[in-house]
Amino acid sequence: MAIQDIYPTALRLLGRPVLVVGGGPVATRRAKGLLDAGARVTVVAPVASAALTELADAGLLTWERRAYVSSDVDGVWFVQTATGTPAVDSQVAADAEAQRVWCVNASDHEASAAWTPAVAVVDDVQIAVNAGGDPRRAMALRDAVATALETGDLPLRRRRKSGASAGSANGSVALVGGGPGDTGLITVRGRRLLGQADVVVADRLGPRGLLNELAPDVRIIEVGKTPGHHPVPQAEINRILVAEALAGNRVVRLKGGDPYVLGRGGEEAEYCRQHGVEVEVVSGVTSAISVPAAAGIPVTHRGLAKGFSVVTGHEELSEVPARPDHTVVLLMGVSQLRQSAAALAGAGLPLGTPVGIVENGYLPNQRVTIGTLGSIADQAEATGVANPAVIVIGDVVRVSPFAPSHFKIADYSTTAPNSPRVPAPNTPVLTP
């Protein structure tokens, strides 16, 4: 039998009698699959596996403890024979053929009237793969397709509403953290939900490249904000999410970073729940940690910093520890960098404390500017630093490969951790 001779279809066996001949591992797997399909399963075998015995003892299937006879195929809709004895399997297949009943013969796939594909289920999608009678090849292909669906590389979006979904007007909302902007840094769950969306409510700083991969009929609603300019107010964003979900759509709110880290995700989730809309929150790779990492700056590092604070740069600076060994991460802080630096200096942070600014983290136009608390505002103005940018203040900046050599006053690796480095002659002293 060649693959071209196969007519792919799916059998609806709910409540219908089927026959499994054999009691070994293959018969056990096939019996379980038939039970999952809702069939009424009868197993004929002198002996059976422990798993089949348990199913029979639980009343989930009928086990006839004897050898096969031709009359066993009478009145059944489907037959699976897997005795491990070719002669018996051939007889079962011949009897089924005479009765015009489809039979899978595990002993001889070429002579089998039907093949059982390798199957996987992702959400309500069932994947079935036939591979020329090669079960391991079929399983490998099945797993690859299932993984692509799980990760969102293949579209899992519903195109036709049926069953329970057709009777319900409500859709759903997913608040998806897209990470710092690189399309490869969204989570698997986030990518999958994006591929299922009917409507995407998009921020300016999310992984914008993924929007180009959406189906043409997916609606994209732009609600992006820039510092000091919010063309779509938060109240209107909340209203859009609920209105689209109540219209029966799967809505993805695609946000940059993490929706619960200075992203107003909590407000949006609460508004959806208040209006009876199902909401899921998918954490993202927050830019507060990931963007510094793009410049080789850890927010904590042994011997340099054991903790960090994340603030917007507009307030709360008086409440964070003003020490070089406590990292301060400023988000949306470019416009008030000079005031922020002055506030930290006024709280006692030394002017020589290293500061790093990472613009457009992980993107092709990423740029890193490194200075000190006393110099960074002038440097930023001179080079035209602009949002989106993350500002890191603290001794951890010394670890960055972009830091000047005179910033590296110790060994920050695990080879000789934090042992003082011997400066080269004429090495400049770290000053504001």
Catalytic site residues?
203, 225
| Spatial contact of 395 and 300, defined as CB atoms under 8 Å apart | no
Q: What residue has token string 């951790």?
A: 417
Residues with Cβ within 8 Å of 374's Cβ and at least 6 positions away in sequence, in order, are 341, 345, 351, 352, 431, 432
Token couple for 324: 């070089």
CA distances from 308 to 78, 112, 376 (A): 64, 65, 20
User: How does DSSP assign 51-95, residue by residue?
Assistant: HHHHHHHTTSSEEE-S---GGGGTT-SEEEE--S-HHHHHHHHHH
N- to C-terminal Cα separation, the chain: 80
- Residue 117 corresponds to which tokens in the numbers above? 């594909």
194 in Cβ contact with 271 (< 8 Å): no
Q: Find out whether 36 and 64 touch, Cβ atoms under 8 Å.
A: no
